[in-house]
């Protein structure tokens, strides 16, 4: 591999977000994947763990402890929460890192402790971490060493709501986020609740009023609103591998119309490659972003006066995880932001 | 067939609700199916149209005009709206009828004209029609000649909300119904939007703030609240054949708790065979009612003060259509209400 | 419960076949479910383990060792292979048993050892066991104490082939069985390969030329042919919860036609309630038997001279497991054979 | 657009193969899409017909008659059979064409008439057409003006079988092709049989011993074998949007082993970018090629002596249609053959 490429390691590479990073990065002209770790699968050739990537020449999977960090420039960390803090704390300081876990997303370590059930293991690193919602935090990401990649639901919920809160177009105290997610959001671990026959042909809510992505969403919205916010966030599990649809119910500020909300979002994202606001009357479908880093949004007037309905769709494994991680890497490394992410959605 | 059986005709029998009526009624000991009509398939043996019902002896499909009404006691009408009014207006008066279309659901014929785009063709029949949400309207159904079987969404939305509005436990002005439906709700006609590859592995909203089931829901809720109501109703199409989940966001009356909502629903439906309120902490899944006439409900406290989340699931083809139609027939004919509907859900 | 009902225990009740037995038996007028065991879930109310059966009054789950066998007449055993032999060997002799595992299906205990990797733990019981392919072995089942319920694939494969081999209408040396199965065949244990995202929207073969159902199929076919048989058996895993389609490629005996094969099957199964041979030109669909105990078959002439294609579909959890188990119980107990199995398929 | 790009028109662009061509070609650095036709949707902006391609600047859809052919270099034709012959016959001779219909695949116009029910409308063009199974016909494709792009099933069936027949490693008289296809193979027209609820959670065969792809397969295999061939070809429709798995049962020539078959295929395709032969023991999954132009193959020894099982998977919309069409265009235009087709599969 050419010495002028960014040398990338992916930790915890055998899950869905790891495989998705490999898929995306293998098309990146300025990146070389030099290490893949997966402790339980160490020693296996990548082709065995990722049969869908059979054509790529990839390094054999190793244990984290066996990585030679001197040959690595950049790390994507796809490890479970808690463990992540310990691993990242031990990494050499020359590495830039995008962490896909929840470990560095909450700036308040006490909030972390409350929602994740244990004290934060690396509070100093937390202070250094930048929350990587790229379109909102681009400048901070550009100079960051450690980026906390946003959660899948928080990405879909914050992108449409933050501009509206910043402009005080909606009531910060009356936000309902009804979210529908594909199953890969639950990861690749074998769990009965993720079995085909437990998921196909049905839908149910889970984590009602108690999902860990709620405080992450509220953190971002509070910053935009300039005051604390509590939101209703109700996630649902549905039979699709990829995709999130957030249907968001808001009350508009006095005199504001749905058309104004749409115009504000259109203006805010006019120059963004990955975010598109649909014209009046169109509702976004998750299948229209599958496999891509795009976010589609829409705004609809409600028959109920002063209320509007906002929708946003993304692929939870791309813009909701590995795609946004690559987008952040591009920003951190000074590459064109859309590199390796230009792929169009796969429909049907 | 025994002369003491109720002789039933199914009009428009070749669609999903017609086939479901055949499935359910074929296990009914007091019913004989004596006529099946389907104009475009007239002359075909039932086994060709319903290969899944191959074991049943069923009448050959005919045209409506060829039915000998003197041999019929009871009619299920599964015809498109508009046409339904014309057909039913011409039927002999000795027939009892459950109509599964939308044609007689709205008591206000002006509202019908607004939402369905043409003047009502049978306003006198409309005055006679009883809205057949069985658990709520049982006494009126008992003596009705013409029952308007409720829509699938309205059944799932009204059953949990009506008792709460009647008891003034929730704010009638702040109701949001986010509904997720299986594809059979769109019928069996060949439409591009219902093709497998347009539906699988994705979700999108449709009819946002403009779905015809909104006024039907509002009619029932207004009656319960004693005043006009506008609701937010946003239906979504998702990849499952059967099932509806309504996730309903409400504001509670001052001092009321989610536990009180749950207790009120539990009490209201304690004696109802088909409606069950889940214990605190459980969320209903559509797959747990598939193929059955049951409705499962739950109530959840929200982290947002004074708000609660209510969920209800049903099989849209059973309790949301043909099952409730049979339930109404049982009430009208004096049969035990659960006859032919005792079947347990098919899971997985 | 009435003392004249058959008192039934279900061992290993928390999996799919156990839940399916509960679903079917709860509609059986002559059966009372008196014990449900599931060692890892002992102590839980049935409604928690089977939310889809919430309306039924069912015994709390217990450990096997805690069952009072004096109150039990009949046992369905849904335990893993190997363990099954040990458990059944210790059961009191007054119990009649239908075993849904593979433990007593192979009459040759050496063949069992070869295919299952350990010596048979109960060779004496093996001698007593009757192979419960009901339509073929009904008379032996009638007087059996221990019935080995056939595997899902072997049921679909043997029912069409046995009559043709008995009549020497096909070449016993040239049988290819290409089978497609739903995911519940792999059970309810959490395995990565059964995750929704690993199964949806795709197909692959598994156990190619090495699946344990091959010797079971060959045992039955050999008996019918009067000589040893080797078959090609290639199972495929596909995205559906329930259902098996066996597409079988055969060479006909000299001078025999596909019409003769179809006529032979039609004649053989004319009086069977659960087996139907489709008319020429129709191909069976798994969705037309979903949730039911029916088997649909068809025979097709091939363009290749002297060859024919035979298809058979079943619901793997019903006729391929729990439904046939109940059918066998009905035969053993002297009940009408179709009791609790009259339910029509659920389509769509 | 740069004047040195190949100017491409897609006729019949609103279906699945048309949309897939747009998806693939929009990443092609040497191609400009200059015309999209769809008679029934003429006048609509592409973004309305392809919401998943919203980011691309594409020409508005037009009628075929409105295309200015002087600005076009290359045509992809995605029209129905029969009509295709008429349209292509009228196109100016300076255009190079890849036709995705069946109209020019059968070199024998009498065979065409037999299988498609009408005389061929352009027998002279038929003589000029080259059958575009790229890996087999590359040299002829290179100089062709009109390429008949192979059918989806024929691609999956011929690629593994042709090398084995050429080397006489298998018996040409005993080939059984059991194929499983996703639903997009049936196109985007609204047909009841392609509705979600008619396809999900089930499988059935169709076109048994009568599918029009049989003569296309036989034509290629006969050429390889040097003699006429009849094959058993049984296609099945299953619940997935994309993908074909061909499970092929063959009898080996005397003394030949499955390992030799695998070695022959490995050798034959060693230098091919898009075709990969899996190691012994691995079976290919359709989901491992989704969205890509790759073909994965495997060879398995059977327990039945002298028999082997061969499997091949492809994405029916890519290698089975639009991807192979682009591959052929690349060959015809002198571009690197994998251009715009390097995309890795999307899993899950």
Do the Cβ atoms of B344 and C55 come within 8 Å? yes
Using 50, 70 and 90 to split pLDDT, how confident is the model at D1?
Answer: very low
CA distance B124 to A183: 51
Cα distances from B251 to residues B186, B225, B304, D43, in angstroms, run: 31, 14, 10, 47
Question: Considering only CB atoms, which chain A residues are within 8 Å of C41?
Answer: none
Q: Is D222 on the interface with C (CB under 8 A)?
A: no
Question: Alpha-carbon distance D46 to D318, whole Å?
Answer: 21
Q: Which residues of D touch C284 (CB under 8 A)?
A: 204
Tokens of B95: 């027939």
pLDDT in tens, A234-289: 999 999 999 999 999 999 999 999 999 999 999 999 999 999 999 999 999 999 99
The set of residues, in sequence order, having a beta carbon less than 8 Å from that of A97 and lying 6+ positions away, is A74, A75, A76, A77, A88, A91, A145, A146, A147
- Number of other CB atoms surrounding residue D179 within 10 Å: 24
Determine the average pLDDT of the residues in B138-158: 98
Length of chain A: 348
Identify the active-site residue in D152, D157, D221, D297: D152
Q: Catalytic residue numbers of B?
A: 152
d(CA A311, CA A307): 14
Q: With cut-offs at 50, 70 and 90, classify the pLDDT of residue C55.
A: low
Does C191 contact A at CB distance below 8 Å?
A: yes
Give yes or no for B304 touching A (CB within 8 A).
Answer: yes
The subunits that touch chain C, with at least 3 C-beta pairs less than 8 Å apart, are A, B, D
In whole angstroms, give the CA distance from residue D240 to residue D285: 12
Contact call for D209 and C180, based on CB within 8 A:
no
Q: How far is B35 from chain A (nearest CA, A)?
A: 32
* Alpha carbon distance C261, C267 (integer Å): 10
D190's CB contacts (< 8 A; 6+ apart) are B190, B191, B192, B194, B195
Report the percent of chain C where pLDDT is more than 90. 93
- Show the CA angle centred on residue C132, arms to residues C131 and C138, nearest 5°: 110
Its ipTM equals 0.96
Among all chains, which residue has been given the structure tokens 């450690």?
Answer: A146
Distance in Å, alpha carbon of C272 to nearest chain B alpha carbon: 11
Specify whether the backbone of D340 is left (phi greater than 0), alpha (psi in -120 to 50) or beta: left
Predicted confidence at residue D47, as pLDDT, reads 86
CA–CA distance, C16 with B284 (Å, rounded to integer): 19
A44 reaches D (C-beta below 8 A): no
Q: What pLDDT does residue B1 have? A: 45
Residues of chain C with Cβ-Cβ distance to D203 below 8 Å are 180, 238, 240, 243, 245, 285-286
pLDDT greater than 90 at residue C188: yes
A192, A200, A240: residue with CB nearest C241: A200
Model confidence pLDDT, tens digit, residues B83-115: 999 999 999 999 999 999 999 999 999 999 999
Q: Across residues B176-182, what is the average pLDDT?
A: 98
Share of chain B above pLDDT 90, in %: 93
Which residue on chain B is closest to A237 by alpha carbon? Answer: B285
Do B345 and C241 count as a contact with CB atoms less than 8 A apart? no
Any B CB within 8 A of C319 CB = no
**What confidence tens digit (pLDDT) does each residue in D325-334 have?**
999 999 999 9
A-D C-beta contacts closer than 8 Å: 78
Q: Which residues of D touch B183 (CB under 8 A)?
A: 195-197
User: Does the pLDDT at position D2 exceed 90?
Assistant: no
- Interval A96-132: pLDDT, tens: 999 999 999 999 999 999 999 999 999 999 999 999 9
Residue of C nearest to B16 (CA): C348
Cross-chain residue pair C290–B23, CB shorter than 8 Å:
no
Distance of alpha carbon C5 from alpha carbon D213, whole angstroms = 58
Query: Is the pLDDT assigned to residue A55 strictly greater than 80?
Result: no
pLDDT for A251:
98
A50 at interface of C, judged by CB pairs closer than 8 A: no
pLDDT at residue C125 above 90?
yes
A123-151 confidence digits (pLDDT tens): 999 999 999 999 999 999 999 999 999 99
Contact D184 A348 (CB under 8 A): yes
Cβ proximity of D59 and D41 under 8 Å:
no
pLDDT of residue D53: 82
Asked if D204 reaches chain C (Cβ–Cβ under 8 Å), the answer is yes
Cα dist from B72 to B61, B92, C342, whole Å: 15, 10, 26
| CA separation for the pair C322, C328 (Å, rounded) | 10
Is the separation of the CB atoms in C41 and C49 below 8 Å? yes
Query: What is the pLDDT averaged over residues D237-247?
Result: 98
pLDDT score of C1 more than 60: no
In a mutational test of the B interface, the residue from A172, A183, A204, A345 whose CB has the highest number of chain B CBs within 10 Å is: A204
Phi and psi of B263, rounded to 5°? Answer: -65, -40
Within an 8 Å CB–CB cutoff, is residue B50 touching chain D?
A: no
Domains of chain D in start order, with CATH, are: 6-150+320-333 (3.40.50.720), 153-316 (3.30.360.10)
Model confidence band, residue A1 (pLDDT cutoffs 50, 70, 90): very low
What confidence tier does B51 reach under pLDDT thresholds 50, 70, 90? confident
Q: Number of B to D CB contacts under 8 A, please give it.
A: 60
CB-CB contact of C277 with C305 (8 Å): no
Q: Is B222 on the interface with A (CB under 8 A)?
A: no
D56 has a pLDDT exceeding 50: yes
Q: How confident is the model at residue C3 (pLDDT cuts 50, 70, 90)?
A: low
Query: Does any CB of chain C come closer than 8 Å to the CB of residue B290?
Result: yes
> Distance, in angstroms, between C241 CA and closest chain A CA?
5
Cβ neighbours of D199 in A, within 8 Å: none
Backbone angles phi, psi at C181, to 5 degrees: -125, 150
DSSP letters, C294-348, are -EEEEEEE-SSTTEEEEEEEE-TTIIIIIHHHHHHHHHHHT--TTTT--PPP---
Kindly state whether B348 is in contact with chain C, defined as any CB-CB distance less than 8 angstroms.
yes
Sign of CA dihedral B89, B95, B101, B104: positive
Is residue C58 scored above 70 in pLDDT?
yes
Q: How many CA atoms lie within 13 A of C324 on its CB side?
A: 33
CB contact under 8 A, B287 and A201: yes
How far apart are alpha carbons C330 and C214 in whole angstroms?
A: 28
Strands D232-237 and D275-277: unpaired
Chain centroid, CA A209 distance in Å: 21
Residue B209 touches partner A, C-beta closer than 8 Å? yes
**Measured between alpha carbons, how far is residue C197 from residues A182, A206, B183, B201, C24 in Å?**
9, 18, 21, 10, 30
Determine the pLDDT at residue C187. 94
In chain B, whose CA is at the least distance from the CA of A303?
A: B209
Question: Chain B contacts of D200, Cβ < 8 Å?
Answer: 196, 200, 239-241
Taking alpha carbons only, the member of B127, B125, B217 closest to residue B175 is: B217
Question: What pLDDT, on the 0 to 100 scale, is given for residue B3?
Answer: 64
Interface size, chain C vs chain D, as Cβ–Cβ contacts under 8 Å: 147
Report chain B residues whose CB lies below 8 A from the CB of C52. Answer: 287-290, 344-345, 347
Q: Does B200 touch chain A (CB under 8 A)?
A: yes
Question: Quick check: C241 and B54 CB within 8 A?
Answer: no
- Chain C residues in contact with B275 by the CB 8 A cut-off are none
Collapsing DSSP states into helix, strand and coil, what is residue A273?
coil
Asked if the bond preceding A348 is cis, omega within 30° of 0, the reply is yes
Closest approach of B345 to chain C, Cα-based (Å):
6
Is C16 an 8 Å CB contact of chain B? yes
Residue A91 φ then ψ, to 5°: -75, 145
Quick: pLDDT tens for D311-330.
999 999 999 999 999 999 99
Residues of C in contact with B23 (CB under 8 A): 344-347
Q: Which of C152, C309, C329, C332 is catalytic?
A: C152
Interface check A201 vs D, CB under 8 A? yes
d(CA D312, CA D284): 7
Smallest CA–CA separation between B193 and chain D, in Å?
Answer: 8
Q: How far apart are CA B142 and CA D157, in angstroms?
A: 63
Q: In the prediction, which pLDDT does B56 show?
A: 74
Q: How many CB atoms lie within 10 A of CB A207?
A: 16
| CB contacts, 8 Å: B199 with chain D | 196
Q: Which two tokens stand for residue C122?
A: 């109960």
Tens-digit pLDDT profile for residues B287-337: 999 999 999 999 999 999 999 999 999 999 999 999 999 999 999 999 999
Is C343–B19 a contact, with Cβ atoms under 8 angstroms apart? Answer: no
Q: What is the largest CA-CA distance in chain B?
A: 63
């Amino acid at each position: 591999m050419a010495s002028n490429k960014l040398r990338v390691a992916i930790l915890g590479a055998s899950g869905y977000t790891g495989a998705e990073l490999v898929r995306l990065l293998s098309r990146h002209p300025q990146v070389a994947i030099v290490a893949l770790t997966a402790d339980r699968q160490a020693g296996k050739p990548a082709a065995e763990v990722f049969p869908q990537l059979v054509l790529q020449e990839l390094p054999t999977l190793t244990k984290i402890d066996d990585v030679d960090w001197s040959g690595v420039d950049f790390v994507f960390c796809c490890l479970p929460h808690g463990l992540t803090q310990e691993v990242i704390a031990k990494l050499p300081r020359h590495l830039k890192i995008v962490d896909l876990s929840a470990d560095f997303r909450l700036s308040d370590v006490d909030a972390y402790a409350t929602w994740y059930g244990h004290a934060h293991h690396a509070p100093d690193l937390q202070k250094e971490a930048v929350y990587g919602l790229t379109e909102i935090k681009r400048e901070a990401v550009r100079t960051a060493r450690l980026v906390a990649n946003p959660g899948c639901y928080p990405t879909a919920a914050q992108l449409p709501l933050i501009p509206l809160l910043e402009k005080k177009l909606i009531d910060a105290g009356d936000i309902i986020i009804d979210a529908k997610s594909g199953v890969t959001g639950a990861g690749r671990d074998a769990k009965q609740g993720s079995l085909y026959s437990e998921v196909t042909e049905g839908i149910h809510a889970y984590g009602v009023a108690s999902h860990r992505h709620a405080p992450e969403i509220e953190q971002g919205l509070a910053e935009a609103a300039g005051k604390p916010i509590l939101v209703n966030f109700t996630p649902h599990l549905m039979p699709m591998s990829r995709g999130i649809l957030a249907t968001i119910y808001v009350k508009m500020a006095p005199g504001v119309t749905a058309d104004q909300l749409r115009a504000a979002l259109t203006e805010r994202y006019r120059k963004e490659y990955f975010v598109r606001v649909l014209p009046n009357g169109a509702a976004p479908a998750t299948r229209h972003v599958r496999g891509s880093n795009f976010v589609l949004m829409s705004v609809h007037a409600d028959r109920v006066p002063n209320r509007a309905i906002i929708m946003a769709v993304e692929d939870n494994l791309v813009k909701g995880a590995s795609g946004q991680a690559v987008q952040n890497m591009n920003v951190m490394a000074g590459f064109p932001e859309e590199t390796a992410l230009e792929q169009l959605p796969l429909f049907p």
